[in-house]
């Protein structure tokens, strides 16, 4: 009966209604997913619409164009897939109490993500060496914009990975594993986003035209 007269705002330890930090962090991450999805969808739509204007030059149709050989993109995609799988394996190992596997997979996951970013940078250098700078063609501009934006989000994830690694290295506590779970979800989201971006960047002009038709956009000739 004494608890009925308690004043929780004056009594320490009775603030049970306060939200847990993990729950608030999870809500923030899911909100970020929604914002990122909306942002990239708008850019994807803008690229599809822009591709229907007559001065659009594809990047994949001729041997001198930078994306005619898609092997570098496939290689970079492999690095990102590997990074995502390793991070998920680290999470599973942490929940099972496998400290050595957890640490190894965490380190390798970060290394694979860094390899992806370095591969993207190398691809940018290929673009520049072939005369496809940021302002060279509309297609090249969209390539830099979309891959740069995706890379920036991955860099942000690596910064969080760097802060999470020391905590998990010392002890795989429940709060640390909860954060690792959110980081793994973020990694999987970036992988899914990259796969969509990869498919769009390597699509043929006919595919762009079909997508534009679905959106009700007609080709426009440039006089």
Q: Is residue 73 within 8 Å of residue 67, measured between CB atoms? A: yes
pLDDT at position 196: 95
CB atoms near residue 67 (< 10 Å): 20
State the Cα angle at 57 between 219 and 53, rounded to 5°.
20
pLDDT at position 5: 57
pLDDT at position 88: 94
% helix / strand / coil in the chain, to the nearest 5? 75, 0, 25
List the pLDDT tens digit at each of the 223 positions of the chain.
445 555 544 554 444 443 467 788 888 889 999 999 999 999 999 999 998 888 888 898 888 899 999 999 999 999 999 999 999 999 999 888 888 898 999 999 999 999 999 999 999 999 999 999 999 899 999 999 999 999 999 999 999 898 888 888 887 788 888 889 999 999 999 999 999 999 999 988 888 888 888 888 777 765 5
Could you tell me the CA-to-CA distances from 7 to 13, 113, 124, 168 in Å, in that order?
A: 11, 51, 62, 38
Q: Is residue 33 within 8 Å of residue 189, measured between CB atoms? A: yes
Q: Tell me the β-bridge partners of 53.
A: 220
* Rounded distance between C-alpha atoms, residue 107 and residue 32, angstroms: 25
User: Which residues, 6+ apart, have CB-to-CB distance to 149 below 8 Å?
Assistant: 39, 40, 43
- The pTM of this model reads 0.86
CATH superfamily of 71-215: Cytochrome c oxidase, subunit III, four-helix bundle (1.20.120.80)
Could you tell me the CA-to-CA distances from 105 to 81, 86, 168, 179, 182 in Å, in that order?
A: 13, 5, 12, 16, 16
User: Which residues, 6+ apart, have CB-to-CB distance to 40 below 8 Å?
Assistant: 146, 149, 150, 193, 196, 197
């Amino acid at each position: 009966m004494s608890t009925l007269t308690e004043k929780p705002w004056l009594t320490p330890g009775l603030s049970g209604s306060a939200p847990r930090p993990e729950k608030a962090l999870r809500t923030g991450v899911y909100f970020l997913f929604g914002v990122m999805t909306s942002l990239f969808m708008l850019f994807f739509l803008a690229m599809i619409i822009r591709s229907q204007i007559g001065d659009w030059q594809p990047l994949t149709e001729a041997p001198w164009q930078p994306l005619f050989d898609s092997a570098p993109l496939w290689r970079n995609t492999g690095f990102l897939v590997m990074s995502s799988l390793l991070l998920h394996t680290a999470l599973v190992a942490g929940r099972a109490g496998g400290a050595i596997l957890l640490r190894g997979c965490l380190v390798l996951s970060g290394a694979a993500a860094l390899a992806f970013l370095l591969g993207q940078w190398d691809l940018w250098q290929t673009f520049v060496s072939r005369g496809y700078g940021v302002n060279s063609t509309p297609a090249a501009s969209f390539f830099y914009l979309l891959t740069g934006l995706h890379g920036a989000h991955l860099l942000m994830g690596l910064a969080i990975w760097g802060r999470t690694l020391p905590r998990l290295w010392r002890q795989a506590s429940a709060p640390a594993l909860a954060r690792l779970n959110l980081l793994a979800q973020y990694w999987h989201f970036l992988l899914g986003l990259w796969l969509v971006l990869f498919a769009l960047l390597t699509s043929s002009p006919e595919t762009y035209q079909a997508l534009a038709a679905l959106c009700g956009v007609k080709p426009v000739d440039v006089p």
